[in-house]
């Protein structure tokens, strides 16, 4: 089952049926106990929507949740960061966090910085080297349970982060720096390790970069990341946690205005954003 957010309503796609959750907000839905059982129960009395609903006004799958992210959870990310930070003397930190018990977790966005499916993401005006980071995103309830999955794009300024690791918040957090969507796949079970994450970037109608990885290359378990995030932190509305990237384009690549970014994680769908 997948949840979609439209202005003023939450829609459910279950097998071939679509229905609206009456009198619910995004925050109330994702914090329901036994979300998948509850949504299944709602389908019994729901008024079905004829055919496929119009998703032109689709919103990002976010209400009042904070968005956090994990880093250096894939070997590819560790290597790329070590390269970009080595002149600044910061390369070693990435190697150490990759092997450490405690993961890297950082604050990524508030809801107003998030862009949904087909909404434009942004590059910082003071940055010259930028990439999208395609990541599995966990939707976590206020009780710390993973209730579903969405797709995240952790837009990142590599020159700012590479200049000094202490600039990480500026490289990661700015208006339009986080893509999320198109929907939430409701599942309390982990996604299979062979699940693919694919990134395709098109420029001027042609492929500019393609890459893929699978969740089996992730060094840490989603549950472990959530457990660290919830240590001494409460999330009254739940939160979204991006799990890190395993795909980094070659160093010569930087995003440009007009680029189309498509991130696909099959059971969830495809998140598409154009760079503003």
By the rule CB under 5 A, 133 interacts with Mg ion: yes
58 or 197, CB closer to Mg ion? 197
Tell me how far apart the alpha carbons of residues 76 and 131 are, in angstroms, rounded to a whole number. Answer: 14
Q: Are 263 and 271 in contact (CB under 8 A)?
A: yes
11 or 168, CB closer to ligand DO4? 168
By the rule CB under 6 A, 155 interacts with ligand DO4: no
By the rule CB under 6 A, 77 interacts with ligand DO4: yes
By the rule CB under 5 A, 104 interacts with Mg ion: no
CA-CA-CA-CA torsion sign (208, 94, 181, 127): negative
The region of 44-52, 65-73, 138-146, 216-224 touching ligand DO4 under the rule CB under 6 A is 65-73
The region of 27-35, 40-48, 69-77, 229-237 touching ligand DO4 under the rule CB under 6 A is 69-77
By the rule CB under 6 A, 158 interacts with ligand DO4: no
**Contact pick of 13, 66, 84, 104 for ligand DO4 (by CB under 6 A):** 104
**Contact pick of 10, 72, 241, 275 for ligand DO4 (by CB under 6 A):** 72
Cβ of residue 113: shortest distance to ligand DO4, in angstroms?
Answer: 15
The region of 143-151, 173-181, 211-219, 244-252 touching Mg ion under the rule CB under 5 A is 244-252
Mask 109-148, x = binds ligand DO4 (CB under 6 A)?
Answer: ------------------------x---------------
Q: Are 269 and 152 in contact (CB under 8 A)?
A: no
Secondary structure string (H, E, C) spanning the chain = CEEEEECCEEEEEECCEEEEECCCCHHHHHCCCCHHHHHHHHHHHCCECCCCCCCCCCECCCCCCEEEEEECCCHHHHHHHHHHHHHHCCHHHHHHHHHCCCCEEEEEECHHHEECCCCCECCCCCCCCEECCEEEEEEECCCCCEEEEEEEEECEEHHHHHHCHHHHHHHHCCCCCEEEEEEEEECCCCCCCCCEEEEEEEECCEEEEEEEEEHHHCCCCHHHHHHHHCCCCCCCCCEEEECCCCCCCCCCCCCCCCCEEEEEECCCEEEEEEEC
By the rule CB under 5 A, 73 interacts with Mg ion: no
Cβ of residue 205: shortest distance to ligand DO4, in angstroms?
Answer: 29
By the rule CB under 6 A, 84 interacts with ligand DO4: no
> Which of Mg ion, ligand DO4, none has residue 104 at its interface (CB below 5 to 8 Å by kind)?
ligand DO4
91-99 helix and 75-85 helix, angle to the nearest 10 degrees: 160
**Contact pick of 60, 61, 71, 132 for ligand DO4 (by CB under 6 A):** 71
**Contact pick of 245, 262, 269, 271 for Mg ion (by CB under 5 A):** 245
Q: Which parts of this chain interact with ligand DO4 (CB under 6 A)?
A: 69, 71-72, 77, 81, 104, 133, 154, 168, 244-245
- Which residues contact Mg ion (rule: CB under 5 A)? 133, 154, 245
């Amino acid at each position: 089952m997948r949840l979609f957010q439209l202005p003023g309503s939450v829609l459910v796609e279950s097998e071939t049926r679509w229905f609206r959750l009456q009198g619910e907000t995004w925050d109330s839905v994702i914090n329901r106990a036994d979300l998948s059982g509850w949504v299944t129960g709602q389908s019994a009395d729901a008024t079905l929507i004829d055919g496929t609903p119009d998703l032109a006004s689709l919103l990002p799958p976010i209400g009042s949740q904070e968005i956090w992210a994990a880093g250096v959870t894939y070997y590819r990310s560790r290597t790329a960061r070590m390269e970009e930070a080595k002149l600044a003397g910061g390369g070693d930190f990435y190697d150490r966090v990759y092997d450490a018990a405690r993961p890297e977790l950082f604050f990524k966005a508030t809801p107003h910085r998030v862009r949904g499916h087909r909404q434009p993401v942004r590059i910082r005006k003071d940055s010259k080297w930028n990439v999208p980071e395609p990541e599995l995103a966990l939707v976590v309830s206020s009780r710390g349970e993973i209730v579903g999955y969405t797709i995240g794009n952790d837009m990142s300024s590599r020159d700012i982060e590479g200049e000094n690791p202490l600039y990480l918040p500026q490289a990661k957090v700015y208006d339009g720096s986080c893509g999320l969507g198109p929907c939430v796949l409701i599942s309390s079970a982990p996604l299979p390790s062979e699940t693919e994450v694919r990134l395709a970037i098109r420029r001027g109608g042609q492929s500019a970069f393609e890459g893929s990885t699978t969740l089996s290359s992730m060094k840490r378990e989603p549950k472990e990341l959530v457990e660290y995030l919830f240590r001494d932190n409460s999330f009254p509305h739940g939160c979204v946690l991006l799990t890190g990237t395993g795909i980094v384009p070659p160093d010569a690549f930087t995003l440009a205005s007009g680029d189309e970014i498509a991130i696909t994680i099959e059971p969830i769908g495809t998140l598409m954003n154009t760079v503003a």
